Amino acid sequence: MPVPGTWYQHPVTVFLVPLIALLWLPQLYRFLPFNTDPSYDESKLQEIASLMDDIYALLANQTFIPHNAITRGPHEINTTALSCKPSRSVLRLIEILPYVDISLVQEPDWIYGGWFMDYRDPEHLAELCDPLRGEIINWTDYMEPADIALTNWGTGGWNNDYTWVLIYNAKRESIRIFDAQLWLHGEIFQRNFGKRMNNWWFEDDGAFEWDRQDGAPHILRAIADSFRHIDQSPWGTSNRESPGFGVPYEEIETLLRRNGWPDAFNASQFNADFIRRKHRSSSKGYAAEVAKRIDQLAGFERYERDGEATWIESAKGSIAEAEELSVRERKAYETETNSEERDLKKYRHLRATWLADYYSEELEAARLEFAQLCPNGVCVEEADLILWEYLALQRTYREIQFYNNVTDCDYRIQKEVSNGRLLDHRLYAERGMTDPPKKAADQAWLDKCLTNEAIEQSWLDLAIEQSRQAALAHCKETGCELIPFKDIFDRAHDKITEYKRKLERAVKQREQFEAYFPARMLDAGDKAREQMERDKVGMCAHETYIEEEIKSIQQHIAKLKEGDTSGERPDRIHKGLLDYLKEEDD
């Protein structure tokens, strides 16, 4: 028996009390109040919020995002469900930061893969504790209570492996940057924002190494100043996936300067120029389809500049691929000892050789057609490119007519239903809805969306009018005529004609296949003959696919011309056919 008053000295007590404390302290931590940082400097937090607002305002002034997508604090944000315990400074900062509603922007990626962070969104708020998503690999000690991510993990890189997450530390007044693979070294940041950074640097492991006290404000000012002076632009720092913004970012920056940025910026003219540049012709004109086919057969290699780097876009082409396959299969069957496998590989070699020859004949015919359309390799004279630009703008303008602004915003609301947004009351009758949803529609959001749609429409109107005037002036000077505009029915018939040409090629290929191989495979093994039959079935299936595509277009045309929409709204049928034609053209 322990001596009275000395129970705490008992060996069992000495062992159990620390063990119980060790096991239960993490659980007790969850019930502690958010007071790990009882004091903070409000002025410093306001400065961070103000600098983020400066950056967002610059992006809006450049029209990268709409002004009405920005909502400034203070905000009411419920943080009781958080699994971590941020400091009071962090909780205060999320109340006063400005936020960008990404459902109102065309591109949420604004800084090398990093998205706009919006802690009003429950999904974003959940990432306050683990913005780098390290929990899945048991890496959670990188965040302190005073840490907060200013950007959200985005979709940079082909597998999201290149996305900047800026993590601000309210205690040290510093910023670390993680690029989805490792902590960003100073050389990278200096390369992008260098002359604004004054040779500041980071450690690879994310350690804080600063040579002055206002580290975080200095970095945010460097980013803002880079955008302000067009050392960088959001179109250049965004990692928007292919096809990007339709215009190289260096040209976009040139358009910014040309239109008076930053002191006398004409946003409407900038966007009209931007739209016209996106519709600039490829200079192939009527030969665009056959030029595309030549690239598919012969391959291509193109060089594109992206800042200081030069990117090569290339493809081998069907002929080269067939020739390489022929060589591989020939080597394979020459060394094969099993007769069945040898016959199979020999057939594959013969088929690849036959395909290479067939594609070569098709390439020769395509090049002859191209030469007829493009004498001396010139399909469209440089001065005539304005005619094709205007034609492309007319097509876009016509397509926009079937993307009713209210309907388009309604569609975008539906995409956000999971986040609580619902249909606008003006759309209930149109949709045959008698009872409104249980929650009120987000009328404020819809009004913003419609405002932005109207502004974008005004930019397109300006672009098409200026392009039209330029085209008319060119024809007045040269005596040319505008290229006839084709409506949806003409385009659909052109697509049918294109499919019929593809069908003719497919039938010709199958017939030549049937005339060439069976006689050469009489003594072949079962595996080789079975493979030959599968190839023939595949060719027939391809022909059937093309025939079904033709029927689908014809049915759309019939519905629109005869008015038999079977209860479906005509504008939706128009839009569906246009979407189909656009997808096929791309």
What pLDDT is attached to residue 434?
A: 37
Condensed to tens digits (0 to 9), the pLDDT of residues 524-557 reads 899 999 999 999 999 999 999 999 999 999 988 8
323-331 long-range Cβ contacts below 8 angstroms, 24+ apart: 323/352, 323/356, 325/352, 326/352, 326/353, 326/356
The candidate with the shortest Cα–Cα distance to 386, out of 534, 280, 315, is: 280
Q: What confidence score (pLDDT) does residue 195 get?
A: 63
CB under 8 Å, gap of 24 or more: what pairs does 419-427 form? 419/103, 419/121, 421/103, 421/445
Which amino acid would we find at residue 57? A
CA distance 74 to 51: 15
Question: With 0-12 CB in 10 A as exposed, 13-18 as middle and 19+ as buried, what is 308?
Answer: exposed
Calpha distance 220→192 (Å, rounded): 13
Per-residue confidence (pLDDT) for residue 40, from 0 to 100: 76
H or E segment and range at residue 534? helix 526-562
Q: Tell me, what's the pLDDT at 141?
A: 79
- The identity of residue 232, as a single letter, is Q
Query: Residues 6 or more apart from 431 whose CB is under 8 A from it?
Result: 423
Output the six-digit token pair for 495: 């697509």
- Using alpha carbons, select from 156, 136, 55, 138 the residue that is nearest to residue 100: 55
Q: Which residues contact 167 (CB under 8 A, 6 or more apart)?
A: 131, 143, 147, 148, 149, 150, 175, 176, 177, 178
Q: Which amino acid is at 462?
A: L
Instruction: Look up residue 424 and give its two tokens.
Output: 């606008």
Nearest residue to 428 (alpha-carbon basis) of 409, 415, 441, 447: 441
B/e letters for 74-107, b = 16+ CB within 10 Å, e = fewer, are: eeebebeeeeebbbbbbbbbbbbbbbbbbbbbeb
DSSP letters along 151-171, please? EE----STTS----EEEEETT
- Residue pair 308/495 in contact (Cβ under 8 Å)? The answer is no
Secondary structure tally for the chain: helices H, strands E: 18, 10
Closest-CA residue to 134 (of 112, 175, 167, 109): 167
Contact 97, 56 (CB under 8 A): no
- In this predicted structure, what is the pLDDT of residue 446? 87
Report in angstroms the alpha-carbon separations of 229 from 113, 236, 316.
21, 13, 42
One-letter amino acid at 154 equals G
The predicted pLDDT at position 156 comes to 64
Percentage of the chain lying above the pLDDT 90 cut = 53
Residue 440, pLDDT score: 38
pLDDT for the residue numbered 439: 33
Residue pair 47/221 in contact (Cβ under 8 Å)? The answer is: no
Cα angle, residue 24 at apex, residues 22 and 30 outer, rounded to 5°: 120
The confidence score (pLDDT) of residue 501 equals 92
The identity of residue 442, as a single letter, is: D
- Residue ranges of the chain with pLDDT lower than 70? 1-39, 156-161, 180-181, 184-191, 193-214, 241-243, 303-312, 403-408, 410-441, 563-571, 583-586
